[in-house]
Structure 1
Amino acid sequence: MTDAWGSEIFGWGTLLPIGAITARYFRKFPFKCSEWYSVHIKCQSGGYIVGTVGWCSGMFLGNSSKQQSNNTHRVLGMIIFTFATIQMLAMFWRPKGENGFPKYVKICHHLLGYALIALTIANIFEGINNRAHAAKWKWTYVGILCVLGVTALGLEIFKWIKRAMMREAMKLNSNMYTSP
């Protein structure tokens, strides 16, 4: 059971947020990295595979155990698996073209991805609270979330500062050419 928890925390609880951070901060702005998409896909695919293995073992153990039944944890796990599968299938359903449809697919992908991350975090804590050695697992995952959160916050602050500096530079450039 410990291996299943470790894989859930590593797969869905760590790799998926890293993939989201990669897509948000390394696609264009503030850092342009040409490999952002492959890193995003590798993190998301790896998180999905590892998380799904943990989910399958958790479903098996939950079905075989008469004593352990946590309906909230089970239902959240099924929702998470469904959302994650939809996100993975989105790689193959990416629309091509210049019409407005790709814009809405992108919005849905972002909303579903953020909902998936939030539900995953909630479900990991829900599962941890019902296990032995809960404090150890809880503080381990809190530490992981703190590292991810501080990283995302630092990148977001850097993004705001860089955007403000670019706006100021554009304002100065436009004033330089329009002065009498």
Structure 2
Amino acid sequence: MQKEIKNAIEVLKNGGLILYPTDTVWGIGCDATNPEAVKKVYDLKERVDSKALICLVADDRMLKKYVKEIPFAALNILEVTDKPTTIIYDEAQNLAQNLIAEDGTIAIRIPDDEFCYQLSRKLNGALVSTSANISGQPTPKSYKEIDAAILKGVDYVVNLHHEKICAKPSSIIKLSNSGLVKIIRE
């Protein structure tokens, strides 16, 4: 695993894209602070950049780097949830501007996955994590289902868990600083 992390970090730090297994599905990733890399993700997915992407961070300390104010409810949700949960936070900061939604929000997940944790730690920052499919196509449930255009379009494919059948995408909850809670995806 350490060799895969080292290889992926080298690509990420050079503005490249990786294809990697997450705690949910196979993801396309890049350094979430690099606007050129984020643009490459949108281009590869053929996705309009007004549709925001999800980021992964290693832990709640790292989360504080990218969200101005973390609602108290967020930490409670993260503590009690037993499945991967992405939270949309108000007032994103220190990320590529083209990653932040028009309303200033950002979707971030703290994955319960050793590879993703180590990758974010070694990068010392947030990773983009968007499903490995062309926009509008079904999310691949395994490495074998990933479209050839995606495989060719990334700079590095992490050589781990190719046989794993992935779970469904994470739940998404929007938590605004005003206290509003909205379930986006269960």
Name the TM-score class by shorter chain. under 0.3
TM-score scaled by structure 2? 0.25
Name the structure, 1 or 2, with higher relative contact order (CA <8 Å, separation 6+): 2
TM-score scaled by structure 1? 0.26
More strand per residue: 1 or 2?
Answer: 2
More helix per residue: 1 or 2?
Answer: 1
